[in-house]
């Protein structure tokens, strides 16, 4: 099958929003009560809902200066906890097109890859610098080149990191893995028939 | 140089290298529940695809199911809709659904092992981060998101990067009153909630060798809380004794053949690891969390840390945690008053957990201002507990005895904290808002410690309580 050019993600550009804090878990990104919906469609407005309520309008997602943000900038171990894809789906559907952070939890990072939401890492000091820069100038345009990892924010420049297979998934359009997975149906069936717990234990 | 179980199981299930360099990995057992699957089935329908290997796929209902005896249709229209969706999706795909009518319903990570579906050497996936639980059997078990649930339904494979392997050896023997939960909380406390990112954890050494399967499941369950998506214990005689005779397990001569293969996938004595960690099991005390992630944990006889002792991001994390928990820096964690006690969840909702909690609760009484719940992890656990009279012990002590489900672990069902209640909980996450109230406060601990806190009305060292009792 051919990849559609539309599926390739080569560049993300737009204003940013900093959400500060380490270990922000997926229960905080999207509270479990929204997991009772059988679609992802309505999640966008509910991202960080409980944190926002407690901060009474002072959460960056409620700050009009950051309205229309495309790039979320976070700290350490963002997206820890539950495997709920609802968390990156809520961010994506709320307009976020890339996340830059010091580090990400593994399942969250994989879910972001699977839905076409690139996550790049920067050292802690550079995250701090980028967050402060956005807070001082919310209109600054952040541009991310996925292939090279280059991140610019006005005159500031950073070198974002991303594992090579993940980078290639975005730049080739293979982040939606299903098409590639389907291509090897015969090889899949060979593994299926080879595994002793599938084929039966006593067959030679 | 030998190989780890991770190496062997990975190689046995690798279909091919994908063009981007990730592995296409065959999934031997796909477990499905009501919350993370409806969108996946919808995505399949949109692409005109079906379930490729329904014989490797099993479903249950656990997250949204009420535990208070409520009957269908549920009052919560969204829960009812979600329930109807999995019934319809499972029926049209030919996937067995273990609902209450089957008598085999329960938390997915309790019933997989209980039915003998979970076996050594398998790759297992489920749209739930606590799928790591199944690693207790020497399986490589992943939590996955909904798009990956779609991928596994459609192809029985997923794109994955092989993790590195860290061997965590806990030597010696645990002291009385110290449980599997305390061991894993101590590991997370030491290595951090992010320490396992990119790693599979292999749990090895005398402490894990001596553990029952229930206990090993508790440990592997919380691997993800330490950042490790996968955690496992090598299969041994304890594993085989548990598996033998279960509904989906091989029997007779097949079991003997299976046992040989299971032995062969265990880590070799000279296997190479990417990292080693050594912990003295005898030094682990009963643990209690004081913060808003499972790494913010201390011994029950220790004090809550003070932000003043720390610098940088760690200081901010402690400040944020104490602000939410409203606990005093430097104060002892013991004596913290509680409002709710919860025994249950995929971490600690099995028979041995209920027995230990009941042993502490037996002959004691939960004070009137504390709400205490005992929630079995499956219908079979419930039936067994009732056969042993544990339900009477719990009720006599003032606990509510509930039906099987995830219950108050994540509050997708009617079991929720209210306002800023403090809950002594045998579950796995103390995140802000996790138990259903944004202001709710969770203290994670072993089931025995939960029972001790329930009857004392405050965090209490279960070792002291046990000494008070006549043997």
DSSP B376-390: -SBHHHHHHHHHTTH
Q: Which residues of B touch A187 (CB under 8 A)?
A: 15-16
Q: Which residues of A touch B42 (CB under 8 A)?
A: 38-39
Give backbone dihedrals phi and psi of A135, rounded to 5 degrees, phi first.
-65, -35
From B305's Cα to the closest Cα of chain A, the distance in A is 18
pLDDT digits (tens, 9 = 90+) for B309-347: 888 778 999 999 999 999 999 999 999 999 999 999 999
Q: Which residues of A touch B433 (CB under 8 A)?
A: 27-28, 31, 50
> Chain A residue closest to B227 (CA)?
A105
Pairing mode, strands B340-343 and B422-425? parallel
pLDDT of residue B466: 65
- Provide the mean pLDDT of chain A: 95
Answer whether B88 touches A (CB < 8 Å). no
Q: Tokens 């062997």 belong to which residue?
A: B8
pLDDT of residue B468: 46
Q: Which residues of B touch A147 (CB under 8 A)?
A: none
Q: Which residues of A touch B316 (CB under 8 A)?
A: 21-22
Give backbone dihedrals phi and psi of B317, rounded to 5 degrees, phi first.
-65, -40
- Do A54 and B434 make contact, defined as CB atoms within 8 angstroms? no
- Do B36 and A172 make contact, defined as CB atoms within 8 angstroms? no
Q: Is the pLDDT of residue A6 over 60?
A: no
Q: Which residues of A touch B195 (CB under 8 A)?
A: none
> Chain B residue closest to A78 (CA)?
B194
* Cβ neighbour number for residue A6 with a 10 Å cutoff: 7
Instruction: Give the residue-averaged pLDDT of A91-101.
Output: 98
d(CA A86, CA B223): 22
Answer whether B24 touches A (CB < 8 Å). yes
- Do A28 and B47 make contact, defined as CB atoms within 8 angstroms? no
From A155's Cα to the closest Cα of chain B, the distance in A is 27
Q: In what order do the strands lie in the sheet with B23-26?
A: B14-17, B23-26, B157-160
d(CA B424, CA B339): 8
* Six-digit token string for B176: 């009385």
Domains in chain A with CATH codes: 9-173 (3.20.19.10)
Q: Tokens 């012990």 belong to which residue?
A: B393
- Do B317 and A187 make contact, defined as CB atoms within 8 angstroms? no
Q: Is the pLDDT of residue A40 over 80?
A: yes
pLDDT of residue A203: 59
Whether a cis peptide bond, with omega within 30° of 0, leads into B247 is no
pLDDT of residue A134: 98
> Chain B residue closest to A85 (CA)?
B145
Specify the CATH number of the domain B5-265: 3.30.499.10
Q: Is the pLDDT of residue A1 over 50?
A: no
Q: What is the CA radius of gyration of chain A?
A: 19
pLDDT of residue B469: 45
d(CA A15, CA A64): 12
**Residues of chain B where predicted confidence (pLDDT) is lower than 70:** 466-471
- Do A181 and B24 make contact, defined as CB atoms within 8 angstroms? yes
Interface contacts (A, B; CB < 8 Å): 222
The secondary structure of residue A7, as a DSSP letter, is: G
The beta-carbon neighbor of A32 closest among B14, B28, B410 is B410
d(CA B224, CA B233): 15
Which is nearest to B341 in space by CA: B444, B230, B267? B444
Testing the interface with A: which of B144, B254, B431 to mutate, by most A Cβ within 10 A? B431
Domain B286-468 in this protein, CATH class: alpha beta
Q: Which residues of A touch B22 (CB under 8 A)?
A: 165, 169, 177
From A185's Cα to the closest Cα of chain B, the distance in A is 7
From A15's Cα to the closest Cα of chain B, the distance in A is 26
pLDDT of residue B1: 86
Q: Is the pLDDT of residue A3 over 70?
A: no
- Do A169 and B198 make contact, defined as CB atoms within 8 angstroms? no
Q: Where in chain B is the domain with CATH 3.30.499.10?
A: 5-265, 286-468
Q: Are A106 and B227 in contact (CB under 8 A)?
A: yes
Which is nearest to B17 in space by CA: A119, A117, A164, A165? A165
């Amino acid at each position: 099958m051919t990849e559609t050019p539309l599926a390739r993600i080569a560049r993300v550009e737009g204003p940013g929003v900093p959400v500060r804090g380490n270990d922000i878990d997926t229960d905080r990104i999207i509270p479990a009560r929204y997991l009772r919906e059988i679609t992802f469609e309505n999640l966008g407005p509910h991202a960080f809902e409980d944190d926002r309520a407690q901060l009474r309008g002072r959460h960056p997602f409620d700050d009009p200066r950051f309205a229309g943000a495309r790039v979320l900038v976070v700290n350490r171990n963002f997206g820890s906890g539950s495997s709920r894809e609802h968390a990156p789906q809520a961010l994506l559907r709320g307009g976020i097109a890339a996340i830059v952070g010091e580090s990400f939890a593994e399942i969250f990072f994989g879910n972001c890859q699977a839905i076409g939401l690139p996550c790049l890492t920067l050292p802690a000091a550079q995250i701090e610098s980028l967050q402060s820069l956005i807070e001082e100038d919310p209109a600054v345009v952040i541009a991310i080149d996925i292939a090279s990892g280059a991140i610019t924010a006005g005159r500031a420049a950073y070198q974002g990191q991303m594992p090579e297979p993940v980078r290639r998934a975005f730049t080739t359009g293979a982040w939606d893995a299903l098409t590639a997975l389907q291509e090897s149906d015969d090889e899949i069936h060979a593994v299926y028939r080879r595994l002793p717990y599938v084929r039966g234990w006593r067959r030679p | 140089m030998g190989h780890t179980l991770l190496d062997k199981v990975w190689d046995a299930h690798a279909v091919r290298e994908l063009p981007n360099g990730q592995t296409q990995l065959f999934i031997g057992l796909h477990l499905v529940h009501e919350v993370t699957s409806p969108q996946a089935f919808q995505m399949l329908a949109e692409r005109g695809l079906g379930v490729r290997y329904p014989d490797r796929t099993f479903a249950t209902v656990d997250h949204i199911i009420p535990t208070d005896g409520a009957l269908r249709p549920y009052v919560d229209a969204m829960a009812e809709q979600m329930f109807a969706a999995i019934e319809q999706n499972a029926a049209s795909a030919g996937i067995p659904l273990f609902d209450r009518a089957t008598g085999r319903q329960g938390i997915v990570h309790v019933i997989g092992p209980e039915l003998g579906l979970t076996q050594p050497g398998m790759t297992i996936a489920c749209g739930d981060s606590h799928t790591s639980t199944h690693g207790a059997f020497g399986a490589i078990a992943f939590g996955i998101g909904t798009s990956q649930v779609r991928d596994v339904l459609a192809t029985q494979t997923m794109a994955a990067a092989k993790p590195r392997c860290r061997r965590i050896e806990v030597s010696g023997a645990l002291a009385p009153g110290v449980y599997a939960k305390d061991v894993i909380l101590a590991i997370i406390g030491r290595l951090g909630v992010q320490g396992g990112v990119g790693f599979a954890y292999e749990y090895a050494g005398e402490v894990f060798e001596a553990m029952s399967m229930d206990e090993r499941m508790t440990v592997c369950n919380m691997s993800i809380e330490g950042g490790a998506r996968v955690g496992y214990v090598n299969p041994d005689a304890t594993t085989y004794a548990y598996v033998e005779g279960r509904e989906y397990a091989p029997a007779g001569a097949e079991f003997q053949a299976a046992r040989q293969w299971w032995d062969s996938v265990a880590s070799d004595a000279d296997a190479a690891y990417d990292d080693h960690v050594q912990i003295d099991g005898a030094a682990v005390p009963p643990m209690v969390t004081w913060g808003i992630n499972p790494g913010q944990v201390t011994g029950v006889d220790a004090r809550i840390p003070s932000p003043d002792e720390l610098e940088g991001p760690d200081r901010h994390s402690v400040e944020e945690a104490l602000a939410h928990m409203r606990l005093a820096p430097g104060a002892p964690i013991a004596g913290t008053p509680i409002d709710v006690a919860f025994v249950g969840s995929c971490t600690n909702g099995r028979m041995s957990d209920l027995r230990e909690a009941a042993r502490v609760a037996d002959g004691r009484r939960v004070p009137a201002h504390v709400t205490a719940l005992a929630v079995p992890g499956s219908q079979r656990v419930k039936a067994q507990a009732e056969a042993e009279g544990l339900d009477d012990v719990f009720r006599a002590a003032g606990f509510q005895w509930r039906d099987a489900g995830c219950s108050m672990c994540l509050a997708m069902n009617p079991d929720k904290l209210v306002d800023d209640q403090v809950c002594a909980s045998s579950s796995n996450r103390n995140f802000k808002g996790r138990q259903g109230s944004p202001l709710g406060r969770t203290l994670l601990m072993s089931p025995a410690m939960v029972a001790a806190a329930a009857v004392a009305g405050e965090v209490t060292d279960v070792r002291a309580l046990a000494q008070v009792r006549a043997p």
